[in-house]
Amino acid sequence: MRAVVCKALNGIEGLAVEEMAEPPLTAGSVRIAVEAAGLNFADTLIVTGKYQQKPPLPFVPGFEVAGRVIDCGDGVGHCAPGDPVMALIDRGGFAEQVVARADDVFVLPAGIDAVTAAGFPVAYGTSHFGLKVKAALQPGETLLVHGAAGGVGLTAVECGKRLGATVIATASGPDKQAVAAAAGADHTLDARDPDLKDKVKALTEGRGVDVVYDPVGGALFEASLRCTRSGGRILIIGFASGEVPQIPANILMVKNISAIGYYYGPYRELAPAAWRASMQELVDWLGQGLLRPHVSQTYPLAEAVAALRALKERRSTGKVVLTV
C-alpha cells in the first residue's frame, strides 16, 4: 500500500509517500480501506518529536480516518466488510489501509461522506468529552472558546451550543470570526485584541465566563485567567501558540478557579464506557443533522506535506482532510 512515511524527526517537509506492507489484522480489530484521513495539529508535532507520543521510526502519521471495512478480526460484531466507517487510531492514518481497534471504529450514519467523517472523531470527540465530562458544562453557563475557527475550537463552539451554553469565540481576524459565528457562536472577538479580557467581561456583565476551552495557550491563557468568574473552570486543551502557560497558583486560589488538564486519547482506556457513550452521542447528532462539520480544504494523499503546511501556517479553518 502507499503511505506517508516519517523516517526522521525533521518535520513535515521530510515526509514522503512510499510503498509499504499492509498492517496485519489481529483479533478484535478491523481492517479499513482508507478513503480520507483527517489532519490534526498534533501531526505537525509528532513528526518533530515534540508530541507526547514518540513512536519509533519509521512511522506513518495520522490519527483519524474514514473508509470501508475490508475485513474484521475475531470477536468483532458491530461492523462488517463493506460498511462505511470512521475510526480513531494511534497513528498510521495517512495510508491506503489501517487496522483499528474495533472499539474505536464507528459505522457512519446514512448520507455522511468519507471526507466529512475523516475529520470528525478527534475534534468532536475532544470537545464533547472535554466539555460534557471533564468541565461538566451546564445549560445556561457561558463558555469562552479560543482558536474557535480551528479544528478542535470550531467543534467546541458547536458542542457548547448543543449543551446549552452561551458561547463567546475568539479567532484571529474577521474571516475566522465569521466561521465561528456561522457555527453558532453567540459573540466573537478578535484573539489579537489587547482589550480581550475586558470585552469578555463586558459580555458577561462584569462577572466573567464559567468555562474556558483553550487549545492555544500563551497570552490567551493569561487573558482567560483574568476573565473567568470566581469558581469557574479552565479546560487546558493545547498550546497551538507554541507557548505553554505557567499558571500563578495564587490566582487559582483567590478566584477558586479549577485549571483542568485534559488529554482526550487516553480516555479510551481510562473510562472506556464514558468515552464510547460520548462518541455515540456525537454519531447520533451527526446522523440527525444536528452538527455541521466544516472541512475547509482537501488534498490528495501525495500532497500531505502541502496539506500539513496549510494547517501549520494557520491558512485552514475547521479541518483539513487528505483524500486517498
Ligand X SMILES: NC(=O)c1ccc[n+]([C@@H]2O[C@H](COP(=O)([O-])OP(=O)(O)OC[C@H]3O[C@@H](n4cnc5c(N)ncnc54)[C@H](OP(=O)(O)O)[C@@H]3O)[C@@H](O)[C@H]2O)c1
Taking residue 112's Cβ as centre, other Cβ atoms within 10 Å add up to 17
Q: Which of 86, 141, 90, 143 is nearest to 116 (CA)?
A: 86
What is the Cα–Cα distance from 71 to 33, expressed in whole angstroms? 9
Closer CB to ligand X, residue 72 or residue 148? 148
Cβ 240 to ligand X, closest distance in Å? 3
Which C-beta is closer to ligand X: that of 231 or that of 272? 272
Binding site for ligand X (CB under 6 A): 40-42, 122, 126, 147, 149-153, 171-172, 176, 191, 215-216, 237-242, 262-264, 311, 314
CA 175 centroid distance within chain: 21
79 or 212: whose CB is closer to ligand X? Answer: 212
Alpha-carbon distance values, 114 to 158, 168, 249, 288, 293 (Å): 20, 31, 45, 17, 12
Angle at 295 between CA 129 and CA 277, to 5 degrees: 20
CB of 26 to ligand X, least distance (A): 26
Q: Based on CB atoms, which residue is closest to ligand X, 105 or 235?
A: 235
Closest residue to ligand X using C-beta atoms? 150
To ligand X, the closest distance from the beta carbon of 130 in angstroms equals 7
Burial of 19 (0-12, 13-18, 19+ CB in 10 A): exposed
Q: Cell 449543551 identifies what position?
A: 163
Nearer to ligand X, 134 or 229 (CB): 134
**Cβ at position 138, least distance to ligand X in Å:** 21
Cβ proximity to ligand X, 98 vs 191, nearer residue: 191
Q: Which of 30, 7, 38, 39 is nearest to 20 (CA)?
A: 7
Return d(Cα 107, Cα 231) in angstroms, integer: 40
